[in-house]
Amino acid sequence: MKTPTDIKALIGVFLKASHKTDTPQDLSDEIDLRQAGLIDSLGFARLLTDLERQLGEPLDLASIDPTRLTHVGSLCRHIAAQLRLP
């Protein structure tokens, strides 16, 4: 079972692999990936695809608040909760 911290680590690895040299060492829960310039719309789609591949499950983001979708903490908690569902 993956925790929000595990998901956050996967996001950090993805950002580093995407050659984002300005990626913060510690991704705060309140960082908005898009507003911080760490990811754009296409990059977010790639991130989701990468997470689905690594987690082995499709992700459903329909129920997350769209204004919080690219915030690290909200996204990680949502994904971790979804993975706990039967």
Are the C-beta atoms of 68 and 76 separated by less than 8 Å?
no
The verdict on pTM exceeding 0.95 is no
Which secondary-structure segment (H or E) carries 4?
A: helix 4-17
- What residue segments make up the domains of the chain, in order of their start? 4-84
Model confidence pLDDT, tens digit, residues 44-57:
999 999 999 999 99
- 41-78 b/e (C-beta count within 10 Å ≥ 16 → b): eebbeebbebbeeebeeebeeeebeeeeebbbbbbbbb
Q: Identify which has the larger pLDDT, 13 or 19.
A: 13
pLDDT (0 to 100) of residue 63: 92
The CATH class that applies to domain 4-84 reads: mainly alpha
* CA–CA dist 17, 29 (Å, integer): 20
